[in-house]
Amino acid sequence: MSFKNRLTVLLNEKDTFDEYISTNDTHVKVKGKTDGIHLQQRYTIERSDASTKLPDEILRLTWRSIDGMKRPSVIEPFLTFGFNAYTNVNSELLGDYSNSVDSKVYHVFHGDSLLEMEKILLKYEDIPTKLIDFDMGNDYDIIIDNKSVQINEYKILHENDIFEYGKSEFFDFDKMEAGIFNLESQDDIDTNLGGISCIWRAEDNNIEKCQKTMLLFKSGHIEKDQRNEKNIIEIEQPVGLHPKLLVNLTDIRVSDDQCNIYMFLQLPLEIFVDQYQSDPFFLFGEHDLELPSYKLKDKAWGSETLFELEPGMVNEITLHSRYVEPFSNLSENLNMDDHFISHIEPIVFEECATGALNLKSNPFYSKNLGLEAFFTEDTIFKHIETKSFNIPIPRPNSSEYEATVYITVFCLVTSIIYLLYKMFGKLSSKPTTIDNSSTEIK
């Protein structure tokens, strides 16, 4: 079984190596800075014994922290918020998380805890989970198939942070290398990195050599060039029970005729799309119009949907909130206004078919299960904005149930008595009329 480890450090164009990077015979040391230095640490395990059932089975586990990358990075794939587990063959691979959303290209479970990723990985005996920090502030992209396991860990070094990279006494890697790069240039497709790469000797802990390295590759994700730095996505106020997303594309045009603008949403169970009202490009998962969220707990975790947007105008997307289960005491997802807080994160991007055949992968990441799977391999994603919103949903207090019942019964009984009085009380007190027309006095 082959076991490899690689570190990638990405500096900005104006950053100097001497200021943030130092090396000795055995280690590379990276010093953080105020606006952050991006690191990727990759572990690759070549599996000698296939432990999956089918040759084409893929399990992809991703985690993006609340402070993680919401903009495309040269060395990091674009990940959706929270924990996501994707499989292309059978949702049973997700184990306890089999309440997946099933689309035409994958099954996906979405959650908000990094522990869910750890639980799935512990089922694989050939994956050394001690390698992974499971730090909620980092991002993770783990791809498992019958040939290999690839673990990608992304972190940002801020001021006063120090990261040292060298051979470990706990893990014997067959190959270790590190690359430290500046972003030299980037256009719509091509990315150029320049820097140094270092390789460790197999027989001891020393660095064998460091040499200048230049990388030229094509990125699948870039940031769309926008002249006006303004908020594209807003939510109409007040929010209410039917949150309305406003996507302002009045100043945005598509790059060419082969491009379209979309918005992708992963919606929790408490928020849903009415497919007959909003006309999504696709919608998978729970979208029942009537059932409350607590009646759907044994179903899918929520839904995934994609909307095609019109450039040059404000696009309105109406969502709907479900009735949520009453509570008896305040909990972590409630505020003092007794609202359930549901999180959504719309992703607005432009997709363009380029005809290029080498956009599927680059030295740092490959397109895989997830949003990218709905598009062709030659697609480039130009990201416009990704924004987080917390949706407050009113939630009744079950501790007030008895008082509510008593008041309701009292009002009902009082109303019935009042109506009966009005109907029959007046009838019984109606005066008697005496007909004297036939009475004759003699």
* Model confidence at 390: pLDDT above 50: yes
Give the residue-averaged pLDDT of 419-426: 76
Segment 236-251 mean pLDDT = 89
Question: What is the per-residue pLDDT for 269?
Answer: 86
The string over 173-186, giving b where at least 16 C-beta atoms fall within 10 Å of a residue's C-beta and e elsewhere, is: beebbbbbbbbeeb
Phi-psi map region of 297: left, alpha, beta (phi>0 left; psi -120 to 50 alpha): alpha
For residue 424, give the DSSP letter.
Answer: I
- Tell me, which fold does domain 233-394 have in CATH? Immunoglobulin-like (2.60.40)
Nearest to 298 by CA among 96, 84, 81: 96
Residue predicted with more confidence, 431 or 232: 232
Total Cβ atoms within 10 A of residue 328: 10
Give the H/E segment covering residue 17: helix 17-20
**CA–CA gap between residue 428 and residue 416 (Å, rounded):** 18
- CA 126 – CA 121 distance, rounded (Å): 10
**Cα 286 to chain centroid, rounded:** 17
Is 40 within 8 Å of 364 (Cβ atoms)?
A: yes
pLDDT of residue 181 exceeding 90, the answer is yes
User: Rounded to a whole number, what is the largest CA-CA distance in the chain?
Assistant: 146
The larger pLDDT score, comparing residue 400 to residue 301, is at 301
| 231-248 mean pLDDT | 89
Query: What was the pLDDT predicted at 353?
Result: 87
349 bridge partner residues: 262, 383
Q: Is residue 441 very low, low, confident or very high in pLDDT (cuts 50, 70, 90)? A: very low
Distance CA 136, CA 96 (A): 21
Query: Which residues are paired to 216 by β-bridges?
Result: 192
| pLDDT tens figures, 80-130 | 999 999 988 766 666 666 688 888 889 999 988 899 898 888 888 888 888
What average pLDDT does this structure show over 176-201?
88
pLDDT of 436 over the 60 cut: no
pLDDT digits (tens, 9 = 90+) for 116-151: 898 888 888 888 888 888 888 899 999 998 888 999
Whether the per-residue pLDDT at 336 is higher than 50: the answer is no
What pLDDT score does 421 carry?
80
Where helices occur in 122-228 by DSSP H, the ranges are: none
3 state SS of 361: strand
Name the token pair of 161: 């942070």
Least confident residue range of 83-87, 188-192, 235-239: 188-192
- The domain ranges of the chain are 3-219, 233-394, 398-427
